[in-house]
A and B are shown apart, each in its own frame.
Chain A
Amino acid sequence: MTMRLANVSHRALQVWRRNAEVLLTTWHTNLLPPLLEPVFYVMAFGYGLGGLVEEVTWQGQRLGYLEFMAPGIVAVAVMFWAFFETSYSTFVRMRYQRTFDAMLATPLLVEDVIAGEWLWGATKSLFAGSVMTVMLACFGLVAWPSGLWVPLLAILGGMIFAAMGLIVTALSPNIESFNLPVFLLVFPMFLFGGTFFPLEQLPPWAHNAALALPLTHVCSLIRGACLGVMPPHAAASVLYLVAAVAVLGSIALRRMSRRLIP
């Protein structure tokens, strides 16, 4: 790991920049989802479901359902944007476009390429998370200035989910085989990561299991930032997420290196 990490150079930023420039050429299709998603959620959950659900209590605060859930959809976006970037999109670049083969004939090393992709996945989380937070702020659902923590948390979460995506890419023989990790990893986090209901609603064993999911902590911290309320065990959550970045990042670096140069 230390060996591999030492091989990452400033050239990784050129990999990042390549992806950024591709995104900028198709920016309209990329900007629309994070702009509209919060609006759809507000309509569906605020007006639709919200009317059926009583107030939710979180950290001693009595919150409207929409107020409770809105930060959760930011956390989910952080997960989706990073994970799907470094799984499907990275796989397409690696396998079908052979983008990395072309890069590896230059002074770039595999570690630069992987680090660039990793950073790029986290950047997509930052992008989606920030745009959505601004949209939610327009609906009065974000407290300031604590809401300014969200971009930072988006990067932190993005690093984790981007590393997960890279590991899945490194281990997948073909693009169809992404279905399984999506179903076993991403889908459970989406449902049980604290986005849609307080985890206290779950039986204790399930609650504890949910605490093992990175999204649970990303979600809790983002909720705290959006509401201006100190989330439960905030320091422990941050520590857990930082450790997850280090562990998953090192696995991603090792696995992807082996995949690119067998």
Chain B
Amino acid sequence: MTDAAPIVARHLTRRYGDFTAVDGIDFTVARGECVALLGPNGAGKTTTIRMVTGFCPLTDGSIHIFGRDIMREPREAKARMGVCPQEDNLDPDFSARKNLVVYARYFGMEGRIAGARADQLLSEMGLAEKARSAIPTLSGGMKRRLLLARALIHQPDLLVLDEPTTGLDPQARHLIWQRVRELKSRGGTMLLTTHYMDEAQHLADRAILMNQGRIVLEGRPAALIAAEAGREVVEVSRPDACVVEFVRGHGWPHEAAADRLYVYDSEGGRVASALAAKFPAMERYARPATLEDVFLRRTGRSLDAAS
């Protein structure tokens, strides 16, 4: 059992009535790997996370956590996971430190060890001074860090994070990232969801892009960017018909949104210089391709295309 993969999901399906939120997806998370689940609102990310963490019964398929079936052996599976939920569910009746200590007991940790571990985590998360503070007095960023500390209290072998940095300011985001990177460098395994493509690009070894309950793309962020968006993206605002014609004529991959044209350049510099030579007065902007371009190409640039 010790060498079973942290997560093996097979034909994972969740239906709500007639509606299929997660539609028979397969994925694995290997030891030491950080996997990001991406996708537009309603893609099925949280539903997937909820099934992985044992909150939501599977309609079909299976999930094994280190070889333990989440439906049949939920206690054993959950004991090895640390879960950092999307919305704050810290216990408002207790102080920050007490939150950690009480949580440790749910994992069967002994009081003295739990206390020492809580103190260590509080100082690692920069919350030592807030140990005695009541939860409602903490800022959003502090609560997030405390949630992360709580998820780590029992030294889990697998960390599951649902939108760990949504709504945080840049400082707080970078602090969370720093902690996550540290965990990664120590060989920690992670499954996370995020709407920030820079976050996924930054933290994930592998990205899984979901749309409408299915996996549409999967791979290393750099490889996905190279394959789907190339090296560089040239954005043209309010392009006229001749520009579109010119781009089409060259056979460059491109996409037109409401008032903007995106031209994908696999080599970098080629499209930008050709456009500059042909339309010197035109407003354009060349930048490196990102995971966000991959995301938007695959799930549609406009909202109605995605839903």
Contact = CB atoms under 8 A, between A and B. Distances in A.
B78 A105 contact: yes
Given A11-B106, A14-B106, A21-B102, A106 B78 contact: yes
A156 B88 CA distance: 37
B106 A107 contact: yes
Interface string A105-129: 1111100000000000000000000
B124 interface: no
Interface in A1-18: 9, 11, 14, 17-18
B83 interface: yes
A97 B81 contact: no
Interface in B41-64: 53-57
Interface of A: 9, 11, 14, 17-18, 21-22, 25, 97-99, 101-109, 261
Contacts, number: 62
Interface stretch (B89-97, B180-188, B197-205): B89-97
17 contacts: A18-B102, A21-B94, A22-B94, A97-B92, A98-B87, A98-B89, A99-B91, A101-B55, A103-B106, A105-B53, A105-B81, A105-B83, A105-B85, A105-B151, A106-B78, A109-B74, A261-B55
A47 B102 CA distance: 48
Most buried by B among A17, A104, A106, A261: A106
Contacts of B174: none
Contacts of B53: 105
B93 A102 contact: no
A101 B103 CA distance: 12
A126 to B, nearest CB: 21
B89 A102 contact: yes
A99 B89 CA distance: 6
A106 B80 CA distance: 9
Most buried by B among A25, A101, A102: A102
A25 B92 CA distance: 13
Nearest to A104: B55
A25 B102 CA distance: 14
Contacts of B83: 105
A21 to B, nearest CB: 7
Contacts of A102: 85, 89-91, 103, 150
A105 B81 CA distance: 8
A248 to B, nearest CB: 25
A261 B74 CA distance: 13
Given A14-B105, A97-B91, A261-B57, 15 more contacts: A11-B106, A18-B102, A21-B102, A22-B93, A102-B85, A102-B91, A102-B103, A105-B55, A105-B78, A105-B83, A105-B85, A106-B78, A106-B79, A107-B79, A261-B55
A112 to B, nearest CB: 9
Given A22-B94, A99-B91, A104 B102 contact: no
B270 interface: no
B108 interface: yes
B93 A17 contact: no
A84 B105 CA distance: 27
A106 B103 contact: yes
Most buried by A among B56, B57, B78, B93: B93
B285 interface: no
Nearest to B98: A21
B107 interface: yes
B155 to A, nearest CB: 13
A105 B152 CA distance: 12
Given A107-B107, A109-B75, A101 B85 contact: yes
Contacts of A17: 105
Contact of B108 (A18, A97, A107): A107
B151 to A, nearest CB: 8
A105 to B, nearest CB: 4
Contacts of A261: 55-57
A101 B88 CA distance: 10
Contacts of B103: 102, 106
